[in-house]
């Protein structure tokens, strides 16, 4: 039995990890901590026997792995300190998703807290980075929108099936939990119920992450807020390379994910949120209209888009069954 701790356990992703770990056959949650010493936030009870405690570095150092469910700008220094104590780290923040400190500074508008660690952290899109994750001591867990987008798009770009000289459009919708637990004028019930809107138009921080890891430059990303709690549906519009059609793209994705437990490529029909909610699944469909191929990709933003993928990565770095604790 391996032991893990959660730093930042009172937020949505920390609570989701606690829920998943409660039934994990090979991992025990040894501590659910605030991200700050001498600080225990007021929070609902966790969905397990643990409770959120003030940060205790002596207990952190005794663990095999640590999940950082902490905000960008806070995670980098925490990762450095945890690694010095010995545990492996999966960081759910954005601090290690962009491997260039200059790009990170431009996107997040502050200096990186541990630039020396950037190059060693693989981008943990697990199905497409499995071997790099397996040998890592620090893993950058992808963002939720990038996970939904890249699982559908990245293999097609890598295979040369997309005309990357023409614009790729990603029209993505997320439940309100993607904004985190702190309430805002956009996410409280009165604002989100019976409403639907685009946000971050022209400047969302996930756009550079998607462009970088897809290997494209001409990509338009527009996120929207759905009046649901969890789930992401991304609709991606691409122009196929010469001689390529939807059937060829579908075959590429089916071959890429053949035998994968958490990615399903549809032969027919379309993904829906209620088929992936509360699971670590990503469902993908490929259709064509005139000269445009349309990719649709659905995930649960709190599971495959955050805590589930983080657990998938932690399973790998600790030498466990990758699917343990996940459905």
Residue 17 CB coordination number (10 Å) = 34
- Give the end-to-end CA distance of the chain in Å, rounded to a whole number: 20
Say whether 144 is catalytic.
Answer: yes
Cβ neighbours of residue 35 closer than 8 Å, sequence gap 6 or more:
7, 8, 55, 69, 70, 74, 78
Q: Say how far apart CA 231 and CA 185 lie, in whole Å.
A: 20
Catalytic residue among 63, 144, 252, 282: 144
Q: Say how far apart CA 95 and CA 68 lie, in whole Å.
A: 10
Q: Say how far apart CA 311 and CA 316 lie, in whole Å.
A: 9
Q: Where are the alpha helices (DSSP H) in the chain?
A: 12-21, 57-61, 75-85, 101-108, 126-134, 144-158, 189-192, 206-214, 246-256, 273-276, 308-317
Residues with catalytic function = 144
């Amino acid at each position: 039995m391996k032991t893990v701790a959660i730093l930042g356990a009172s937020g949505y992703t920390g609570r989701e990890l606690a829920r998943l770990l409660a039934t994990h056959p090979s991992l025990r949650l040894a501590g659910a901590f605030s991200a700050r010493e001498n600080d225990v936030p007021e929070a609902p009870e966790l969905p397990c026997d643990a409770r959120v405690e003030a940060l205790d570095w002596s207990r952190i150092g005794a663990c095999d792995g640590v999940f950082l469910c902490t905000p960008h700008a806070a995670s980098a220094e925490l990762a450095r300190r945890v690694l010095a104590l010995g545990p492996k780290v999966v960081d759910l923040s954005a601090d290690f998703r962009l491997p260039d400190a200059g790009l990170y500074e431009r996107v997040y508008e502050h200096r990186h807290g541990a630039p020396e660690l950037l190059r060693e952290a693989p981008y943990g899109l697990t199905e497409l980075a499995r071997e790099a994750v397996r040998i890592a001591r620090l893993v950058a867990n992808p963002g939720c929108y990038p996970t939904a987008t890249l699982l559908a798009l990245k293999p097609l770009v890598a295979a040369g099936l997309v005309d990357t000289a023409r614009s790729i459009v990603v029209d993505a919708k997320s439940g309100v939990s993607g904004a985190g637990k702190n309430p805002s004028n956009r996410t409280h019930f009165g604002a989100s119920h019976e409403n639907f809107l685009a946000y971050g138009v022209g400047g969302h921080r996930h756009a550079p992450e998607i462009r970088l890891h897809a290997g494209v430059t001409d990509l338009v990303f527009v996120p929207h807020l759905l009046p649901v709690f969890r789930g992401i549906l991304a609709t991606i519009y691409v122009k196929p390379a010469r001689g390529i059609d939807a059937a060829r793209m579908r075959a590429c994705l089916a071959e890429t994910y053949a035998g994968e437990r958490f990615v399903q490529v549809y032969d027919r029909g379309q993904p829906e949120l209620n088929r992936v909610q509360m699971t670590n699944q990503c469902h993908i469909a490929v259709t064509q209209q005139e000269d445009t191929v349309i990719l649709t990709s659905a995930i649960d933003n709190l599971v495959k888009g955050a805590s589930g993928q983080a657990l998938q990565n932690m399973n790998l770095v600790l030498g466990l069954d990758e699917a343990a604790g996940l459905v």
